[in-house]
Amino acid sequence: MLAVNSEVYTSLAATLGVAVVFAGLIRLFTRRWNGPLMIGVNLAVIGCAYMLYFFRDPERLTPDDPTLVFAGADGKIMAIKEVVEDKHLHTNAVRISIFLSLMDVHVNRAPIQGRVTFENYFPGERYFTFLEKSSEFNQHSEIVIENARTKVLVNQIVGPIARRVVYWVKRGQRVQAGERIGMMKFGSRLDMYIPADDVKDILVQPGQAVTAGETVLVSLKPRDAEPPNQASLAELVEKATDETVTPLTETNAVGKQAP
C-alpha cells in the first residue's frame, strides 16, 4: 500500500479547485458541459494522482550507528565542498548538497540522532538551486541537530518553482537518525554541513543517487581521534569529487528518481 504524508490534503484540495475553475472557464466559452466536465475530471484525476505520488512517504530502516551521517533527502549529490560555516558550526565544514527532482520522495529525515538546538525559517530569493549563490541567498529553513560526537546543520532550500518547505521539529526535541523532520513541497535542494574536524571519510560522490535515512554520506572520527589538518580535509573532498560527472540543472534532473 502506498504510504502518503498527511501534508498532501491541502495540495489535493488545491488541485480539485483548479480543475473546477478550469472546467468552469471552458464552459463559459463553449456553453456546453459535456466537454468541460470531461476535461475537468481528467485534470482532477491526473493532478490528484500526481499529488499522491509526490507526497508518498515510504518507511525507511536506518542503522543505529552513531559514527555515520545519513542522507537527509532523496535525490542526487549535486556538490561536495569545503566551506566555512560561521553561523552555527563556527568552523570549517563539509557541505554536501542534494538535488531533488519532481519525482523524488520529498520527506526529509534526520541525518544523525541527537537534540535539535536550532530551527527557523528565513525569507530570501528564489534562484535556481544549481547555482552556488542559492545556498546563501534563497529562502530556506535551518535545522541544527547535535549530539556528543558532532552536530549537523540541515538547510531546506526553496527553488524558483517551490511552494514552501516545512519542518516538524522544535528546539530541544530529541530525534533519531532517519526520523522524519520535514518536507520540501516542490522544493529542490537540501544542504548538509558537517564540521570538518569530525569527518573521517566522505562516502559519496557528485552525481550519486542517495536515499534519505539509508545512504551513508560521511563516517565520523572516533571521539579520541586527533582533528585532521586542513590538507587532509582537502584530500577527502578532492577524493570525493575526482570523478567527472554531468552537472545537475533544474531541467536535466527532472524525471530522475533515486532508487
How high is the pLDDT of residue 232? 65
CATH of domain 68-240: 2.70.70.10
Antiparallel, parallel or unpaired: β 140-146 and 114-122: antiparallel
Q: Which of 6, 141, 188, 219 is catalytic?
A: 188
| Angle, alpha carbons 140-83-130 (nearest 5°) | 50
How high is the pLDDT of residue 226? 54
CA distances from 144 to 10, 167, 175, 237 (A): 28, 12, 11, 22
How high is the pLDDT of residue 46? 94
How high is the pLDDT of residue 148? 93
Residue pair 85/93 in contact by the 8 Å Cβ criterion: yes
How high is the pLDDT of residue 250? 43
How high is the pLDDT of residue 108? 97
How high is the pLDDT of residue 257? 35
**Which pLDDT tens digits describe the chain residue by residue (259 residues)?**
568 888 888 889 988 998 899 888 887 888 777 888 898 899 999 999 989 998 999 999 999 999 999 999 999 999 999 999 999 999 999 999 999 998 999 999 999 999 999 999 998 888 877 777 888 788 899 999 999 999 999 999 988 776 678 999 999 999 999 999 999 887 689 999 999 999 999 999 999 999 999 999 999 998 765 555 555 667 777 778 775 554 444 433 333 333 3
How high is the pLDDT of residue 256? 37
Q: What is the C-alpha to C-alpha distance for residues 15 and 51, in angstroms, rounded to an integer?
A: 8
How high is the pLDDT of residue 224? 67
| Angle, alpha carbons 99-103-108 (nearest 5°) | 55
What are the boundaries of each domain within the chain?
8-54, 68-240
Catalytic site residue 134? no
